[in-house]
């Protein structure tokens, strides 16, 4: 394992990034691209993902350069996710929608297709770190309807049952919980959770809504908590809100009395 000094010349702490590589030349090349003035970078082989000390490093972001074998990729994703709650980003030259979808299902938060310029890579890393810090700053726990959201461990408690979420799952439910009962458009959710550059990647949103429903709904096939507004977006609805909407009288269309034709 190799690490850079974690302090800048001014004494401020930089973001700690963990680079996991399958091939040492790949790992060295990525470390060279990460600005030492912005980041403290730790690098080690991807095989270390299964070792217990990995979580003790407390990285803010994990950059995974995966093995070429998809099975090993999914195993590495799962192993990393078990040991850290930090966002996990896969960087790979393979641009395969099925592979990307399965990697997301295995627990990663982002999949970036290489090659990618230094500026774009830096911008995407900074966007992920900003979103993570913004949601971490919401406070340790807050009550929204029947949900208790804890940013400290990315958990949600509902009806006495506590569920632990991935960083992106937690950002998504926190975003919906910021406006309970209100429809948030697909574009709004994509922009707030993933970033403005992902507003057209709606399959990410559908995938993570499905994950949340499987973890939080009483019956994921008949969602009552995370409700779809067809063609518009999603809203977080609590039972009393749903009942109130069903009981609310529908507005009537105004009518006028038909004019008399003077016929007997």
Same domain, 189 and 120: no
Same domain, 125 and 147: no
Closest CA to 242 of 215, 223, 219, 221: 223
CATH assignment at residue 162: 1.10.10.10
Last residue of a domain, which of 114, 136, 158? 136
Domain limits for position 26: 2-136
pLDDT at 164 over 80: yes
Same domain, 159 and 239: yes
Q: Quick: pLDDT tens for 169-218.
A: 888 998 898 888 899 999 888 888 877 667 677 888 998 999 999 999 98
Measure the N-to-C terminal CA separation of the chain; round to a whole number of Å: 101
In a domain, 75, yes or no: yes
In a domain, 253, yes or no: no
13-16: long-range contacts, CB 8 A cutoff, minimum separation 24 = 13/40, 14/38, 14/39, 14/40, 15/39, 15/40, 15/60, 15/61, 15/129, 16/40, 16/41, 16/42, 16/57, 16/58, 16/59, 16/60, 16/61
In a domain, 255, yes or no: no
Q: Identify the H or E element spanning 186.
A: helix 186-193
The confidence score (pLDDT) of residue 183 equals 92
Quote the Cα angle for 215-217-128, to 5°: 45
Which band of pLDDT confidence, cut at 50, 70 and 90, is reported for residue 13? Answer: low
The confidence score (pLDDT) of residue 243 equals 47
How many whole angstroms separate alpha carbon 242 and alpha carbon 181?
Answer: 9
Whole-Å CA distances, 92 to 64, 73, 133, 248: 9, 10, 25, 52
**Phi and psi at residue 257, in whole multiples of 5°?**
-65, 135
The confidence score (pLDDT) of residue 209 equals 93
How many whole angstroms separate alpha carbon 212 and alpha carbon 64?
Answer: 24
Same domain, 117 and 214: no
b/e per residue, 70-89, with b = 16+ CB within 10 A? Answer: eeebbbbbbbbbebbbbbbb
Last residue of a domain, which of 107, 136, 165? 136
Same domain, 97 and 170: no
Same domain, 152 and 87: no
Count of domains observed in the chain: 2
How many whole angstroms separate alpha carbon 231 and alpha carbon 257?
Answer: 38
How many whole angstroms separate alpha carbon 88 and alpha carbon 251?
Answer: 49
Last residue of a domain, which of 96, 116, 136? 136
- Asked, as a colleague might, if the bond just before 43 is cis with ω within 30 of 0, I would say no
Same domain, 73 and 186: no
Same domain, 159 and 238: yes
Which band of pLDDT confidence, cut at 50, 70 and 90, is reported for residue 134? Answer: low
Percent of the chain with pLDDT over 90: 17
CATH assignment at residue 107: 3.40.50.2300
Which band of pLDDT confidence, cut at 50, 70 and 90, is reported for residue 258? Answer: very low
Predicted TM-score of the model (pTM) = 0.57
Same domain, 130 and 188: no
């Amino acid at each position: 394992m190799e690490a850079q000094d974690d302090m800048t010349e001014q004494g401020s702490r930089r973001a700690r990034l963990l680079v996991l590589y399958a091939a040492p030349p790949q790992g060295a090349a990525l470390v060279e691209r990460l600005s030492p003035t912005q980041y403290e970078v730790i690098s080690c082989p991807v095989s270390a993902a299964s070792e217990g000390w990995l979580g003790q490093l407390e990285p803010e972001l994990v950059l995974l350069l995966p093995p070429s074998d998809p099975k090993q990729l999914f195993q590495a994703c799962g192993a990393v996710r078990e040991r850290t709650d930090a966002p996990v980003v896969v960087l790979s030259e393979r641009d395969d929608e099925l592979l990307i979808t399965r990697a997301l299902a295995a627990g990663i938060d982002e999949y970036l297709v290489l090659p990618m310029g230094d500026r774009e890579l830096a911008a995407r890393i900074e966007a992920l770190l900003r979103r993570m810090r913004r949601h971490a700053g919401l406070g340790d726990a807050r009550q929204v309807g029947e949900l208790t959201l804890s940013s400290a461990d990315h958990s949600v408690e509902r009806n006495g049952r506590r569920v632990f979420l991935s960083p992106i799952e937690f950002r998504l439910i926190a975003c919906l919980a910021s406006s309970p009962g209100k429809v948030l458009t697909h574009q709004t959710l994509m922009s707030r959770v993933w970033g403005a550059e992902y507003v057209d990647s709606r399959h990410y949103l559908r995938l993570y809504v499905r994950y949340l429903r499987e973890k939080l709904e009483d019956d994921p096939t008949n969602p009552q908590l995370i409700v779809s507004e067809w063609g518009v977006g999603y809203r977080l609805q609590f039972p009393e809100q749903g009942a109130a909407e069903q009981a609310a009288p529908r507005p009537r269309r105004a009518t006028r009395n038909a004019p008399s034709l003077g016929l007997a």
